Amino acid sequence: MSGREADHKRFFGTDGIRGRVGDPPITPEFMLKLGWAAGRVFSRTGRGHILIGKDTRVSGYMFESSLEAGLAASGVDVSLLGPMPTPAIAYLTRTFKAQAGIVISASHNPFYDNGVKFFSDSGEKLDDAVELEIESELDKPMSIVDSDQIGKVSRINDAAGRYVEFCKSCFPTSYNLAGFKIVVDCAHGATYHIAPNVFKELGAEVIEIGAAPDGFNINDGVGSTFPDALAETVTSTKADLGIALDGDGDRVIMVDDRGEIVDGDELLLIIALSRKQAGRLVGGVVGTQMSNFGLEKALEQESIPFVRAAVGDRYVLSELQRNRWELGGESSGHILCLDLTSTGDGIVSALQVLSAMLMTNKSLHELKQAMVKYPQHMINVSCRELVAVEEIPQICEAIKVTESELQGKGRVLLRPSGTEPVVRVMVEGENVSQVEKLANQLAEVVEESVG
């Protein structure tokens, strides 16, 4: 499907439907209709079966009930998973041979936001064409199937245990984590009852933080978007490392024994290098436009191909599939290991890093030295309307001047936001003061042209 057709979607964004609870479309009425519409689409080839999972937001109960009622009204059977990480729902959708999986979550957002995303029967994000089909059904008046065709609803009580075992299967059987002291930050989110158990059962001593959700504290000062709490706990407890997940468990940021943050770019490099050393790296690595230039240079030194995709895990996935590679990710900690699972998985990604530590007999701090992070400076420039900035002559000339000053030891990125009327101006290079100066100069030109 072309970008033009995808733009016709009214509700689905790059990661499902998301917004503030109570503001359309994040309302019970809409979720009822969305469940019915999705059920109509997924049951066209026979009686459907759809799984529903959620994170720990208080509004999740409300939206779970609405989606469940809509799906049942369309004649689809529903299995409820309760609080479960996003990647767990993708995995269970595959293993239960369901037509789709639904995640009720707003990922790393505060509790007052929520949203819905779908997985196909293969555990992957839906194609644009399927999302457009669901939106088309939303335009129709809601009807209920005959009473003998109404969907049945059940609960999968051992969902968490099944997923714990899957995560453990992604760690080499010849290794264990005995002797490791690990701080695990669950962001008061969907991994609170899963992540600590995975690392404990593999032999680690686990210190839990962010593992007491109350419906309102998800991502509140903890998790992968707020790693300072993790860093402080790692150093104060003299732990070997820390693992911070986000609210729905598909991202991970780690902290080494010195309390230094190890972001998604550095984790991706560690996994790539360990796979190359073990002879298991298939092709190259996919990053995004925002991946640090240091990642690109480090991979280049190891003769590992590197490709940048647009920002967003669905674009990373698309580029991996196009190249038939397995490893990609974003600096936010959303990492894809397609040989193990179909979507970003924070727990599985952390296990790959721990495996690399054991294989090389090196600490996380030692492994992160393989990448020298380049200073980045980004400025958001407000604009009257989103335009193709790369086609404006004054901006093109300013980019050329900036790139010439970097002398091949950095890069420039101008990226219109997909959600607000701003152009993101980013400059990367070896020298902090030079990077800031060049970013400010370029931002002034952009503001004069489109501000």
In this structure, how many other beta carbons lie within 10 angstroms of the beta carbon of residue 82?
A: 16
Please give the backbone phi and psi of residue 426, each rounded to the nearest 5 degrees, phi first: -125, 135
What is the Cα–Cα distance from 116 to 105, expressed in whole angstroms? 6
Q: Please report, to the nearest 10 degrees, the dihedral formed by the alpha carbons of residues 273, 278, 281, 282 taken in order.
A: 170
Q: Are 371 and 262 in contact (CB under 8 A)?
A: no
Q: Could you give the 3-state DSSP secondary structure of residue 420?
A: coil
- Could you tell me which residues come within 8 angstroms of residue 141 by beta carbon, excluding any fewer than 6 positions away? none
Q: Which residues pair with 53 in a beta bridge?
A: 82, 103
User: How far, CA to CA in Å, does 146 sit from each of 3, 31, 34, 60?
Assistant: 39, 21, 19, 28
Contact 435, 428 (CB under 8 A): yes
Cβ-contact 251, 190 below 8 angstroms? no
- Other Cβ atoms less than 10 A from the Cβ of 30: the count is 18
Say if CB 64 and CB 104 are below 8 A apart. Answer: yes
Q: List 13's β-bridge partners, or say none.
A: 16
Which of 59, 107, 274, 342 is flagged as catalytic? 107
Q: Of the candidates 289, 290, 247, 243, which has an alpha carbon nearest to the alpha carbon of residue 267? A: 243
Provide the β-strand partners of residue 141: none
Three-state secondary-structure class, residue 20: strand
Known active-site residue 107: yes
Sequence-ordered list of residues with C-beta below 8 angstroms from that of 90, at least 6 positions apart, any chain: 101, 119, 123, 124, 341, 342, 343
Sorted by sequence, the CB contacts under 8 Å of residue 110 that are 6+ apart come out as 218, 219, 220
- Alpha-carbon distance values, 190 to 53, 100, 125, 175 (Å): 9, 19, 19, 27
Determine the 3-state secondary structure of 261 from DSSP.
Answer: strand
Q: What is the sign of the dihedral through the CA atoms of 201, 81, 224 and 299? A: positive
Query: What are the catalytic residues?
Result: 107
